[in-house]
Amino acid sequence: MADSTILKGNQLSKASAAEAYKTLRTNIQFSSLDKQLKVLMVTSASQSEGKSTTAANLAITIAQSDKRVLLIDSDLRRPHIHKALSLLNVKGLTNVLVQSIDYKDICNTVGVKNLEVLTSGPKPPNPSELIGTARMESLITTVASEYDTVIIDAPPVLPVTDAAVLSRLVDGVILVVEYGSTSYEMAQEAKDDLERVGANIIGAVLNRYPIEKKGRYNYEYDQDLLKKQSMRSFSKGVRRA
Ligand SMILES: Nc1ncnc2c1ncn2[C@@H]1O[C@H](COP(=O)(O)OP(=O)(O)O)[C@@H](O)[C@H]1O
Ligand SMILES: [Mg+2]
């Protein structure tokens, strides 16, 4: 069974979560009208803020709109996509980067039409070096031409440089902020780090936003989230997903 925070194929068990992700999908579609956002990366300031959950659910939701989607787990230190989607992680991204295995031979399906998943693969001793290789860049170029959308579940920004390195190779970055956990300073620092290397931050997702009304799920998305002055105001002025 997949993780309970993951949408279940075509039988969405969490209708309000599904609605929130559909809104996120629409917001992304409209966030850049002149430049196509094909390769998107999901990151956050630190660990356990909901990057993998957001990346997996977003990939599922985009695939459900009849787009061919590839989800890649690039968090080589703390990979989670295979656990969230109940996949084995015997072979994955690290095999592509180290052994030149064709990604097509080791992509997984998860019972969602149009969605394929490349898990992280075995843990390498040198994650940052691998993420920064020319092979990673060429993999992204290849998959961008073969799928409508590529979602990359990335490492966190503050502890390691991998996310900043990756952010330069993608079309857009989504920053996850965990309500009640990520401090304003951390979120701002992560945003600054990404902007310093020229990343295109297309928006932020406020994860675990408290459910006020029964049946509503806890995701928020707002392009201006990080412009707000404090964490408390994050929860006030934001648009409900
Ligand atoms: N909105 C949410 N509601 C409930 N549980 C969540 C939510 N977002 C994440 N989680 C859970 O919190 C844990 C950390 O989330 P994860 O997506 O793995 O974070 P990250 O990738 O940032 O380290 C996982 O067990 C996940 O299932
Ligand atoms: Mg993760």
Closest to 115 measured CA to CA, from 83, 85, 74: 85
Interior CA angle at 66 toward 11 and 6, to 5°?
Answer: 35
Probe target for ligand 1 pocket from 19, 48, 85, with the most ligand atoms within 8 Å of CB: 48
The verdict on the CB of residue 16 being under 6 Å from ligand 1 is no
The verdict on the CB of residue 48 being under 6 Å from ligand 1 is yes
Minimal-distance CA residue to ligand 1 atom 16: 50
Residue in the block written with tokens 């404090």: 230
Average pLDDT rounded to a whole number, residues 128-147: 96
Classify burial at 4, counting beta carbons within 10 Å of its beta carbon; exposed 0-12, middle 13-18, buried 19 or more: exposed
The token duo for 58 is 């977003």
DSSP code at position 226: G
pLDDT above 90 covers a percentage of the chain that reads 68
Gyration radius from the chain CA atoms: 17
* Contact between 136 and 100 (Cβ < 8 Å): no
The verdict on the CB of residue 91 being under 6 Å from ligand 1 is no
Model confidence band, residue 30 (pLDDT cutoffs 50, 70, 90)? confident
Report which of residues 66 and 33 the model is more confident about.
66
Model confidence band, residue 10 (pLDDT cutoffs 50, 70, 90)? very low
Model confidence band, residue 224 (pLDDT cutoffs 50, 70, 90)? very low
**CA 121 – ligand 2 centroid, Å:** 14
Closest to 94 measured CA to CA, from 117, 73, 64: 73
pLDDT of 162-194, one tens digit each? Answer: 999 999 999 999 999 998 888 999 999 999 999
Report which of residues 28 and 79 the model is more confident about.
79
* Contact between 184 and 155 (Cβ < 8 Å): no
* DSSP-derived secondary structure for 43-63: EESSTTSSHHHHHHHHHHHHH
pLDDT of 71-130, one tens digit each? Answer: 999 999 999 999 999 999 999 999 999 998 999 999 999 999 999 999 999 999 999 999
Q: Tell me the domains of the chain and their CATH numbers.
A: 15-237 (3.40.50.300)
Nearest ligand to residue 75 Cα: 2
**CA 122 – ligand 1 centroid, Å:** 22
* DSSP-derived secondary structure for 161-172: SHHHHHHTTSSE
